Structure 1
Amino acid sequence: MSWFSTFFSSGWEQLTDSDPRYGVDSGAYGQRLGAAVVRGFNMRVFSDGALPALLHEDPRYYRKAHGSIVHRGLYAALRVFVGQRDSGVSVFNTSVVVGHGMASALTMAYYPDKSSNTAVVFKTWGFSLLGEAGGNLWLEFWPDAHERLFRRHHSDE
């Protein structure tokens, strides 16, 4: 689980007083943070654990590492919907899409009543898939950015 995304999403929800609607005091931030941790944990259990094991899918993101920025960016973002079987065959990424949907549906069990509805579940599901795409983009481009930023240190050795 990415702690950055957990704190960022909780902070954004607190700042905008968006779902889950716990209010805006400091206690509300703690409740939002707790809900984000549970939501993230559930997404990882379903998307990286249970469903890949049942469906024989490989939940890992494999970096392209070559090609144009646009091509690599599209590749990374679309990997949310295109996964691999354990055999290496490309398939619809059921583990991620359905796993995030299942974890989003579970929010109805711990979100406050005013945020426990189908619209919030679908919004949570959509944002979680966007977050997954953002994570893939990070995995695709951060190694290149890191190399460029810290190249001098490597050449001095």
Structure 2
Amino acid sequence: MNIRLFMFRLVLCVSVTCAAAAQQISAPEPQTGTVIGTVIDVNDGTVPGANVVLQSSSLPEPKQVTTNDDGFFQITQLKAGISYHITISANGFADWISPEVTLRPGQYLELKGIRLRIAVAVTTVKALSTEEIARGQVEIEEKQRVLGFIPNFYVVYDHNAVPLTPKLKFRLALKTSKDPITILGSAFVAGIDQAAGTPDYEQGAKGYAQRFGANYANGLTDIMVGGAILPSILRQDPRYFYRGTGTTKSRIIYALRTPFVCKGDNGRWQPNYSGLGGYLASGAIANTYYPSSNRGPGLVFSATAIDIAADMANGVIQEFVLRKLTTSAKKQP
């Protein structure tokens, strides 16, 4: 064999081999994927500190992360074309398990609908005796007082609270209306009205008594109609359900919607027909005992607007201030 031909073939083989090796080395790595999500509870509050575990038969060991203060998590560097399952757990909640997830190269997947429900053990306790549990909750609420003396009966701090029976709705309304601080509050407002000369009753002791009676009657009709009668008929819960979780903005929005949205006895959020009906009924009935110069549609709608504004303000104060000042509230979960 000609030595030059041999050398040419040898160089050619080496060149081809090196080119193939170089091509193999320079081949790009396959793109990995990412999975993100936000964990919330049944009340739409975020769940910080939840444990997120991603598993696959192709992984040597599961990948694990924890949600941040906003309930957000992110798992990166996931190979494409592999089936994954994600399990999310948190104290007091039942585990949430995702359907099978398979990523495309470079995919950025956001998991939707991650909503943790109350643990089965808690739900089972509820189902044993709902009425007795509700009665126990009302007994706790009847001891709730701001600074130890101002009634704060219509707020629920227990996220596992059960609905009230009609009897308990009337019990809570009557206790509030008969409380000495409620009566003193009506007397105080009557004094302010007396000084302002509104409504158009006369001055003196008789005028003060009329203003006191009008103020107390307004509150009584509002709480009896909006807090007991309509909630019993429409199966709605008249209480404010303290949220306590989530961003400041989300909690403010939650509090401001109080006059318009309430929780039904079925546990679902719905239009607050009971509360709005109570406001309107209070203003309408006031037309029967207010001075003739103050009567008319304006009285009904102005009283309703004032009640709505007061309810919105109360919701914000309940969410951010009153729990710290309410007796027995700190002991509740």
- Which bracket does the TM-score occupy, shorter chain normalised? 0.7 to 0.9
Residue correspondence of structure 1 range 122-137 to structure 2 within 5 A:
122-137=301-316
Tell me which protein shows more strand as a share of its residues.
2
Identify the structure with bigger relative contact order (alpha carbons < 8 Å, sequence gap 6+). 1
Judged with a 3 Å threshold, the aligned counterparts in structure 2 of structure 1 residues 12 and 70 are, in CA distance, closer, same or farther, namely farther
Q: Which runs of 5+ in 1 are unaligned?
A: 148-157
Residue correspondence of structure 1 range 88-99 to structure 2 within 5 A:
88-99=267-278
Deviations 1:106-128 (A, max 9, x none): 00111111111111121111112
Determine which of 102, 106, 109 is the counterpart of 2:285. Answer: 106
Residue of structure 2 in register with 1:150 after alignment = none
Normalising by structure 1, we get a TM-score of: 0.79
User: Could you tell me whether the CA contact under 8 Å between 2:237 and 2:263 is conserved in 1?
Assistant: yes
Q: Which amino acid aligns with 2:186?
A: T
Judged with a 3 Å threshold, the aligned counterparts in structure 2 of structure 1 residues 94 and 39 are, in CA distance, closer, same or farther, namely same
Residue of structure 1 in register with 2:190 after alignment = 10
Residue correspondence of structure 1 range 1-157 to structure 2 within 5 A:
1=177, 3=182, 6-7=186-187, 9-18=189-198, 20-140=199-319, 141-144=321-324, 146=325
CA distance in 2, matches of 1:14, 1:74: 36
CA distance in 1, matches of 2:253, 2:308: 14
Structure possessing the higher radius of gyration over alpha carbons: 2
Judged with a 3 Å threshold, the aligned counterparts in structure 2 of structure 1 residues 90 and 28 are, in CA distance, closer, same or farther, namely same
Deviation at 1:48, TM superposition (A): 0.7
Deviation at 1:28, TM superposition (A): 2.3
Deviation at 1:8, TM superposition (A): 5.0
Normalising by structure 2, we get a TM-score of: 0.40
Deviation at 1:132, TM superposition (A): 2.1
Identity %: 25
User: Could you tell me whether the CA contact under 8 Å between 2:237 and 2:262 is conserved in 1?
Assistant: yes
Q: Which runs of 5+ in 2 are unaligned?
A: 1-176, 327-333
Judged with a 3 Å threshold, the aligned counterparts in structure 2 of structure 1 residues 46 and 63 are, in CA distance, closer, same or farther, namely same
Deviation at 1:36, TM superposition (A): 0.7
